Amino acid sequence: MALTDEQIERIEGRANGTLSEEETALLEQELGLNPALQQEAAAYLDVYWALKSMALMPHLKGIHARLKEEEMEAVQAETVRPLIPDQPGNVFSLTRINWGWAAAAAVVLFVFGVGIVNYRHKQNDRLYGMYEQTLEKSFVMSRPEYPAFQEKSGELKAYEKFRSGVDLMKKGQPEKAVPLLEAALRSQNKKVRQEGEWFLSLAYLKMNERRRARKLIDQIASEPDSKFNKQALRLRSAL
């Protein structure tokens, strides 16, 4: 489906960080309900950032041309003026100028890179916020289930780590939750293992570990019987 001008304006606003929090939340909700629209938005942003990088090319070419010009000036200076040993400034001044222009080029690339990273981090935070409420639906063992966990070696401990990991996620501490949720993946209990995968993917997303999050989300999306399969399908299309 084709994006409307109004949708494009809001998507660009989100990318630039100029869209209000309320409008951003509405846009994320709209994208979350429409996978086809998510794909169109992702494709548009790829082109958008590519054009942004192309806009920097004239600046980089100008810096490159200036560096070349200074190199030529340095060569000419060396052929017409002998270096004076007791004036070290004569030897290194042109080198310092070249480093200045090289630093300018690095700054241009750094600013562009930071813009992309900031956009990705904001997007990760928004996506995490959309699925954070699933923590409230996490598995809690009932009394009748307790004997089954107690009978199998290590299962009760895996469950306790799973619950501790979920509690840390609720407290906004994904870094501490990760090793506990990773340990829960070794559980033989299907609920603990599958939910551990989902909450671990959210922890990675919150930590901006996008590749690790995507790997787990792909796995959950391929498991139709997973409790969070539908959420994983929607989240995958937004990454």
> What is the domain partition of the chain in residue ranges?
5-131, 138-238
Which residue has tokens 């070794």?
186
DSSP 173: -
Per-residue pLDDT at 225 = 92
CATH fold group of domain 138-238: 1.25.40
Q: Is a pLDDT exceeding 60 seen at residue 215?
A: yes
Q: Is a pLDDT exceeding 80 seen at residue 69?
A: no
Per-residue pLDDT at 86 = 47
Q: Is a pLDDT exceeding 80 seen at residue 7?
A: yes
Residue type, 93: S
DSSP 207: T
Q: In whole angstroms, give the CA distance from residue 178 to residue 161.
A: 10
DSSP 34: -
Q: Is a pLDDT exceeding 50 seen at residue 195?
A: yes
What's the rounded mean pLDDT across residues 152-157? Answer: 88
Side-chain-side CA neighbours of 110 within 13 Å: the count stands at 6
Q: Is a pLDDT exceeding 50 seen at residue 23?
A: yes
3-state secondary structure of 199: helix
Per-residue pLDDT at 175 = 96
- pLDDT tier for residue 14 given thresholds of 50, 70 and 90: confident
Q: Which two tokens stand for residue 98?
A: 């070249």
**CB-based burial label for 72 (10 Å; 0-12, 13-18, 19+):** exposed
Length of the chain equals 239
Q: Is a pLDDT exceeding 70 seen at residue 179?
A: yes
Stronger pLDDT, 157 or 67, i.e. the higher one: 157
Q: Is a pLDDT exceeding 60 seen at residue 94?
A: no
Q: Which two tokens stand for residue 59?
A: 């600046």
Q: Which two tokens stand for residue 135?
A: 């923590």
| Residues in CB range of 197: below 8 A, 6 or more apart | 185, 216, 219, 220, 226
- pLDDT tier for residue 72 given thresholds of 50, 70 and 90: low
Provide the terminal-to-terminal Cα distance of the chain, rounded to the nearest Å: 18
pTM higher than 0.85, yes or no?
no
Per-residue pLDDT at 71 = 60
Helix runs in 20-87, H state only: 21-32, 35-80
Q: Is a pLDDT exceeding 60 seen at residue 191?
A: yes
Q: Is a pLDDT exceeding 60 seen at residue 1?
A: no
Q: In whole angstroms, give the CA distance from residue 173 to residue 154.
A: 25
Q: Is a pLDDT exceeding 60 seen at residue 113?
A: no
Candidate from 104-108, 214-218, 224-228 with smallest mean pLDDT:
104-108
Q: In whole angstroms, give the CA distance from residue 38 to residue 28.
A: 9
